[in-house]
Amino acid sequence: MNAGTKNILEMLSSRVESLCEKGEWSEAYHASLAVVDKARGLVELKDDGAEQALANCLEIQADVLRQTGHLEESRLIYSEALELANKLPNNAFMLGRISASVAVLYDSVENEAEAIRFYERALELYSRAGMENSEEAADVYNNVGFVYRSIGNFQAAEDLFLKGLAICNHALGVEHEKTATLCNNLGALYLKSEKNTQAREMHMMALEARLIVLGGAHPDTAQSHANLALSLSEGGELKKADEHFKSAVNIYEKHIEGETHEYAAVVENYAEFLKMSDNEKVADALIKKAQKKLSKLGA
């Protein structure tokens, strides 16, 4: 493949990614059509490296379709990309990456069996590529951990979250968004498993990291306040729990348009906490205030 052809493919691919980041999905899809058409033409001409290029371009197009909800079309294009990638040398990382994307697709429609199959295939391929401790592998451990949690296999979920956390902690450090996310997910699992002491520590670590990385006004920070409040409540630390519930509600109120469900959920949890603490009047006032705010949004 000559330099000019390689350059135009890179430009078109970068344009797709840029449009996706801006949320301009229709334009991103049209750009993905152009890049795939260009790559298919190279395959027909038997250009050197054309199949590699086409597999990459198909993956990009399938990603756009998956993120815009065109799941069956996306699945078919991922399948074509996998078929092409299987023919290529040194293909383990590409196959792993595409397999992980297919797993996300199945995960989104709650096909747990296929999601697990493709997530585990992705991990096997990353290991074959020498990337078993990569951030990509950590993402897969996190995602498949969620699937196992959803089907009630808490032990498998814990093992997977712990593997992902170990990778993130080693590669990125404690004060990183991904490390905080894994701490949060482990904490939620421990709370669900009634391991309150472990849940408290995981949520405390997640909050500390998010305060440093994201700041005190970010929705993810609110999530950590809310989860920590639940852990503290279960452990009988009621004063601290109240403080963190208040922080979560205050942050979510500022992001209510984009975090409607989360705001409603934390208000419900806080109100229940207040009622259990014999503060029914405060709970009722909180609920009325929330209902008024949500009604303005049509929620």
Concatenating the DSSP letter of every residue in 127-172 gives: HHTT-TTSHHHHHHHHHHHHHHHHTT-HHHHHHHHHHHHHHHHHHH
Q: What is the spatial distance between Cα 232 and Cα 201, in angstroms, rounded to a whole number?
A: 10
Task: Please name which of 103, 193, 187 lies closest in space to residue 139, comparing C-alpha atoms.
Answer: 103
Query: Which residues, at least 6 apart from 175, have a Cβ–Cβ distance to it below 8 Å?
Result: 209, 212, 213
The pLDDT score that the predictor gives to residue 176 is 94
In the predicted model, what is the mean pLDDT of residues 261-270? 96
The pLDDT > 70 percentage for the chain reads 99
**Dihedral, CA atoms, 98, 102, 105, 109, nearest 10 degrees?**
-170
Q: What is the spatial distance between Cα 146 and Cα 195, in angstroms, rounded to a whole number?
A: 17
Whether the CA torsion 73, 75, 79, 81 is positive or negative: it is positive
The torsion angles phi and psi of 133, rounded to 5 degrees, stand at -110, 25
Q: Which CATH superfamily is domain 176-186+193-299 in?
A: Tetratricopeptide repeat domain (1.25.40.10)
The pLDDT score that the predictor gives to residue 9 is 82
In the predicted model, what is the mean pLDDT of residues 261-265? 95
pLDDT in tens, 31-56: 899 889 988 888 887 777 788 888 99
In the predicted model, what is the mean pLDDT of residues 60-65? 94
In the predicted model, what is the mean pLDDT of residues 119-141? 96
| Token digits of residue 72 | 């069956």
In the predicted structure, residue 299 carries a pLDDT above the cut 70 = no
In the predicted model, what is the mean pLDDT of residues 6-23? 86
The torsion angles phi and psi of 194, rounded to 5 degrees, stand at 60, 30
The pLDDT score that the predictor gives to residue 242 is 96
pLDDT band, very low/low/confident/very high, at 90 (cuts 50, 70, 90): confident
What is the H or E stretch that residue 18 is in? Answer: helix 3-22
The pLDDT score that the predictor gives to residue 4 is 73
pLDDT band, very low/low/confident/very high, at 274 (cuts 50, 70, 90): very high
Q: What is the spatial distance between Cα 83 and Cα 87, in angstroms, rounded to a whole number?
A: 7
In the predicted model, what is the mean pLDDT of residues 173-192? 95
Supply the mean pLDDT for the chain: 93
The pLDDT score that the predictor gives to residue 141 is 97
The pLDDT score that the predictor gives to residue 8 is 80
In the predicted structure, residue 188 carries a pLDDT above the cut 90 = yes
In the predicted structure, residue 1 carries a pLDDT above the cut 80 = no
The pLDDT score that the predictor gives to residue 46 is 78
Task: List the single range of 28-32, 134-138, 264-268 with lowest mean pLDDT.
Answer: 28-32
The pLDDT score that the predictor gives to residue 120 is 97
C-alpha distances in angstroms, 91 versus 32, 61, 106, 125, 126? 22, 19, 23, 9, 10
In the predicted structure, residue 231 carries a pLDDT above the cut 90 = yes
One-letter amino acid of 16: V
What is the domain partition of the chain in residue ranges? 176-186+193-299
DSSP state of 216: T
Which residue do the tokens 């419900």 mark? 268
The pLDDT score that the predictor gives to residue 13 is 85
Task: Please name which of 41, 107, 122 lies closest in space to residue 74, comparing C-alpha atoms.
Answer: 107
